[in-house]
Chains A and B, each alone.
Chain A
């Protein structure tokens, strides 16, 4: 199969955008960058959905002089994507306003600090001890005894 096949190029663009978006959401710590990742993922999903309508030699779904063109791209997924783009802007606006509220409440947009402050706040209000960091395994009586045994032997 030819590497310059247009279908391969377009599908790789769609999957590449989705991959970069998911990677950005998972890896980055800054809240604004996570929202950028959501926008990229959305763009890739839109392109993937539109690619299902496309085949070689198709024409745009526009009726000229009352006659339907013989080879026409399917207009239904296109209408769906049109809606999805507009809804995407709504999602973006909601996410950005939530980010503004987070910065007003906690004074930072770094997700690690926000998570820490959130845990502190919850444990203060509930009157319980703050849980240990999830980056290290929790020390319980069972595994602390095992650790003492290991260091002793």
Chain B
């Protein structure tokens, strides 16, 4: 159990760093989704399944959609 949590935390923190370092905003958006999904796994580990469900739906789904629409309107929607 601890090993699985450790792997998820490492992946989450690395992708959080990647959000800040990627030049491409679409890639940064994908990394942000990875952070949200890892976070929802950690919410299940701390015994909050309802919060995990919300985080997976709202954090990874709806906020990524908002970011994607804003990036398209700002003209940053291009992968390099």
A residues apposed to B, CB below 8 Å = 4-6, 9-10, 12-13, 16-17, 20-21, 23-24, 27-28, 32-33, 36-37, 39-40, 43, 46-47, 50-51, 53-54, 58-62, 73, 78, 81-82, 85-86, 88-89, 92-93, 96-97, 99-100, 103, 109
Contact = CB atoms under 8 A, between A and B. Distances in A.
Interface residues of B, number: 40
Interface of B: 1-3, 5-6, 9, 12-13, 16-17, 19-20, 25, 28, 32, 35-36, 39, 42-43, 45-51, 54-55, 58-59, 62-63, 66-67, 70-71, 73-74, 76
Nearest to B48: A78
A149 to B, nearest CB: 46
A5 B6 CA distance: 10
Contacts of A10: 5, 9, 42, 45-46
Contacts of A82: 50-51, 54
